[in-house]
Amino acid sequence: MNSKVVGIMLILGPILIMGVWIAGLVPDTANVSPSESMTTVLAGKTQAEIGSMLQIFGVIAMFTGLYFLARSLKSDNAVSNQFAEIGGLLLLLVVPIWVVFMGSWTEAIQAAEDFGNDVGTTILASSTMFEAGGVLLIVGLFLLGISLTILKKYKGVIGALFIIASVCAFTDVIFDIEAVAIIGWMGMFLMTLITGILTTLQKENQKEDIPNRGVEEIPEA
């Protein structure tokens, strides 16, 4: 895939996902019961439906872009290749998991209107299992960060920051520390956005100074 297309996907995805959070289109239901979540969602159902759809498009763009970025990191370094390949596959797996998770808001609203709040609440409660996609995101970006660092792509800075953000996000999953959560989760999305900008600005036929002629151009589809 063309590197500029991948770059645009890496820019568009985080903007849509973070934009929904910042704009408050999806209500904060992190610390409430499923029934309370359903009541909150129904109170702002139009915003929730719009936010859900925007996040779905954002997830598809961001993680597909990260997958193709990982595919582009083929080099003579076998260790880097393994990290990039596994990381890219894990990130691609996030797409169907989070699409189902984020789409559950719309399904829950429709079910609640058709069959009552209890049915909608059941859908929301069941969808929480798909939050596990966050772990795949953390591990995938961690491995991708290692590959970027080994190859010294973008001078090795982007890869190192991906690693730091992933470790912070994992720490938040284990210990639930708000300050660490902000650094980790927002950091991963922000670094993806920056990577997209750098990838878009990169000349199509430009090869970076990478040991063993590291990174191939992203292949044309």
Question: What pTM was computed for the model?
Answer: 0.85
The tens place of each residue's pLDDT in the chain, 221 residues long, gives 788 999 999 999 999 999 998 888 877 766 778 888 888 888 888 988 899 999 999 999 999 999 999 999 999 999 999 999 999 999 999 999 999 888 888 889 999 989 988 998 998 888 877 777 889 999 999 999 999 999 999 888 999 999 999 999 999 989 988 899 999 999 999 999 999 999 999 875 454 444 444 444 454 44
Tell me if 55 is assigned to some domain: yes
Question: Are the CB atoms for 79 and 68 separated by under 8 Å?
Answer: no
Tell me if 23 is assigned to some domain: yes
Tell me if 218 is assigned to some domain: no
Domain that holds residue 119: 3-201
Tell me if 164 is assigned to some domain: yes
Please identify which residue in the block is written with the tokens 């890496």: 10
CA angle 110, 30, 97 (to 5 degrees): 60
Contacts 24+ apart (CB under 8 A), 122-129: 122/34, 124/34, 124/37, 124/38, 124/41, 125/34, 127/100, 127/101, 128/34
Tell me if 132 is assigned to some domain: yes
Question: Are the CB atoms for 211 and 77 separated by under 8 Å?
Answer: yes
Number of domains in the chain: 1
Tell me if 211 is assigned to some domain: no
Tell me if 151 is assigned to some domain: yes
Tell me if 212 is assigned to some domain: no
